[in-house]
Structure 1
Amino acid sequence: MRAGPLAPIRVTLTSVQPGRLTPALFGIGTVEARRSVLVGPTLAGRVRSVRVEVGDTVQAGQWLAEMDPVDLEERRLAVEASIARAGSTLAAAQAQGRDMLARRELAAMNARRNTDLAAQNFISAGALEARLQELASAEAALGAAEANLSAAQHDLQRLAAERAGLLQQRASLRLTAPMDAVVTSRDAEPGSTVIAGQAVLRLIAPDSLWVRVRLDQARSAGLAVGLPAQIALRSQPGAALRGHVARVEAVSDSVTEERMALVAFDPLPSGVSVGDLAEVTLSLPAASDALLVPNAAIVQVQGRTGVWQLDGDALRFVALRLGQASLDGQVQVLDGLRAGDRIVVHSEKALNSHSRLQVVDSLAGPQP
């Protein structure tokens, strides 16, 4: 009865006491860049040169790399020649239009003169009809000249647009930095063939680093933007860095049952690199006074959450309604216990209402 399977189960007890805890959330995260850019061509081609190395600091607009233009220069020269030819065609169409306009005016004057003469019976009706036909022909020729002039103008506009497109395509082959940044990766070397949209260089804004933190969904109550944070980087274990929650992701990880939050540095320290592991503690507003129990005392019995209470010599399970928890292992009890109640904190074995108990100060000591 004192040893073996029928021996009393050794347990440690504590009394429920009122108090006020400072709730906090804890999570592990990695340092990421808020603004990260992939620099690459808009068309497939061969890399001609790369002018920067990994770790270089670049300025907005700086020339980083260049793609091989292949036949763009020859195509530009061909378009320039076509534009010159179109200009000559336009000049010829304009001269033809002026000639046709003069011919129509002459034909119109002759037609008016012959109309007056025919009204006085000085010329025959056939002569008048010939002059009117000359006027109609001159007007038709003027219309054709105006149409040729309009076609020449449109052709010149088309060639100018093609030249502008070639110049823009030629300019796009020179890859420039879109912002002040640091080169973190060089993904293509001169001579490599890349497709449209493929990254040649990867850049990050060094002043946009923050920590992506993963928090247990079950313990994430109170997570909100603006919460103060303490950040401990694995690369700087002795430094306690300040920060705040800049964003709470709207999508959680259903597999790991975690929520994601982005924590910004206040201010950004030097020597932080992307990919650094970080331990982040988020401070929640202080809770009101309530009864506190150790987190180790809370157990699950038949789907209910509660503690084992020792009432005199009787052991019974009490279901609880819990509130917030602190990182030092204290949990609020909203309903189910009173101040002074004795509860089991640790036990050697799983308990039930018929278990025989032996109260000890610590389970780590030798058995009597």
Structure 2
Amino acid sequence: MKNFLRTQGRRLAMVAVLLPLLALFAYAALRAGPLAPVPVTVASVARASITPALFGIGSVEARRTHKIGPTFVARLKRVEVQTGDRVKAGQLLGEMEPIDLDDKLGAQDAAVKRAEASVLTVEAQIQEVGARKTFTENQARRYEQLFAARNVSEEGVEAKRQDARAAQGALAATQANLAAARQELARLRAEREGLGRQRASLRLISPIDGLVTRRDADPGSTVVAGQAVIEIVEPGSLWIKARFDQLRAKGLQAGLPAQIALRAQAGQLLAGRVLYIEPYADPVTEELLAKLAFTPMPAAVPAIGELAEVTVMLAALPPLPVVSNASVQRVGGQLGVWLLTGEGLRFTPVTLGVADLEGRVQVTEGLQGGERVVVYSQKALSAQSRIKIVERLVGVAP
């Protein structure tokens, strides 16, 4: 009997110890173990109008660039400006070596003077031949009168007529020579003018008030026709050439406002607007190309080629149910959200519309507004998951 009581006491003691342990284990399993409720954050679905935006990457380019150089092969004599200098319209930027161009101009001037003298000579010949023509015509008429009075022979009259016809032909030939001489003079003057323009083009003059962005030759180097020596841009013509994903570019059009963040001016947003959409898209990167202007132009002119981040604000959309992008999950190949109902969680497939840059997306089908949906969860959910609603999850930004 004594042994039985001792055994029973031991059993009761063990039960007294194990029961709290089992309770503690069950509590831990239900609160912190695999059977514990999943912490989630929830939000109510509201009907709202969102203003979508497009994000793109671009670079600073010059709308109007002036490349200044000679119109024929020449050697660079001097350059008066450096890269980064601001220049005025009409300012001398540099000069090319004339080589033998001045000699050609002198020879052309002499040819023009000789042609002018030839014109004067032929004009004098016309006066002489004209006087001879008048004399021979008068003689022919006089002999015709004498022939009528039978004072001269018919052969004499015909001789005078022939002299008059010869004088007429000589006058016509001399007039033709005058026209040819004048044409030759005009040709030589045109060649002289062309050489003069070539000589003037050796002086590299700025056509605008601008900024020197490149200097591609140094004094002494030979420059071919069409090669630029100096490149000038108009600071007020800088714009952004941006690229946008074709899948998200619906609604992109000219006139929309934009925000521009230059890489060298991190944290500073500049105002801009879309000027136009280029008619050609990039088939490799599947991007649309657009040009955006600064409004207004920044005081510190950005460097050409500087990268820029562009955000274009699209037109506001009609009110629809709006949820956070984070609340949209893919379950069984379907996009949807986890709804909180009186019976627990229920996955509801949805059809999504346009999203904005704040992480909100419109729901065109599946929600009506006013529902409560799970935004963040500590792990994947199912319809049988137990949840615990918290204000925020550890490690997740509010």
TM bracket, shorter-chain basis:
0.7 to 0.9
Q: 1:328 aligns with which of 343, 358, 368?
A: 358
Moved more, 194-203 or 246-255: 246-255
Q: 1:19 aligns with which of 47, 51, 54?
A: 47
User: Residue 289 of structure 1 aligns with which residue?
Assistant: 319
Matched, 1:318 2:346: no
User: Residue 260 of structure 1 aligns with which residue?
Assistant: 289
The 2-side partners of 1:233 and 1:280 are apart by: 9
Residue ranges of structure 1 left out of the alignment (5+ in a row): none
Matched, 1:127 2:159: no
User: Residue 279 of structure 1 aligns with which residue?
Assistant: 309
User: Residue 142 of structure 1 aligns with which residue?
Assistant: 171
Partner SS state of residue 32, structure 1: strand
Change (3 A) 1:97 1:39: same
Q: Structure 2 counterpart of 1:17, which letter?
A: V
User: Residue 213 of structure 2 aligns with which residue?
Assistant: 184
The 1-side partners of 2:166 and 2:35 are apart by: 127
User: Residue 251 of structure 1 aligns with which residue?
Assistant: 280
With structure 2 as the length reference, what TM-score do the two structures score? 0.79
Deviation by residue 1:235-277 (Cα, 9 ceiling, x = unmatched)? 2224332232233333222322222333322322222322333
Name whichever structure is richer in strand by fraction: 1
Change (3 A) 1:172 1:304: farther
User: Residue 71 of structure 2 aligns with which residue?
Assistant: 42
The offset of 1:350, in angstroms, is 8.0
The offset of 1:25, in angstroms, is 2.5
The offset of 1:15, in angstroms, is 4.9
The 1-side partners of 2:37 and 2:290 are apart by: 44
Matched, 1:117 2:146: yes
Percent of paired sites with the same residue: 45
Moved more, 139-148 or 226-235: 226-235
Change (3 A) 1:149 1:196: same
The 2-side partners of 1:10 and 1:28 are apart by: 40
User: Residue 133 of structure 2 aligns with which residue?
Assistant: 104
Q: 1:79 aligns with which of 103, 108, 120?
A: 108
Contact 1:31–1:211 (Cα < 8 Å) also in 2: yes
Change (3 A) 1:262 1:301: farther
Contact 1:9–1:347 (Cα < 8 Å) also in 2: no
Partner SS state of residue 235, structure 1: helix
The offset of 1:115, in angstroms, is 0.7
Contact 1:24–1:282 (Cα < 8 Å) also in 2: yes
Q: What is the aligned-residue RMSD (CA, Å)?
A: 3.0
The offset of 1:12, in angstroms, is 4.6
The offset of 1:76, in angstroms, is 1.1
Contact 1:13–1:359 (Cα < 8 Å) also in 2: no
User: Residue 209 of structure 1 aligns with which residue?
Assistant: 238
User: Residue 166 of structure 1 aligns with which residue?
Assistant: 195
Paired residue total: 358
The 2-side partners of 1:247 and 1:300 are apart by: 38
Q: 2:85 aligns with which of 32, 49, 56?
A: 56
Name whichever structure is richer in helix by fraction: 2
Contact 1:52–1:64 (Cα < 8 Å) also in 2: yes
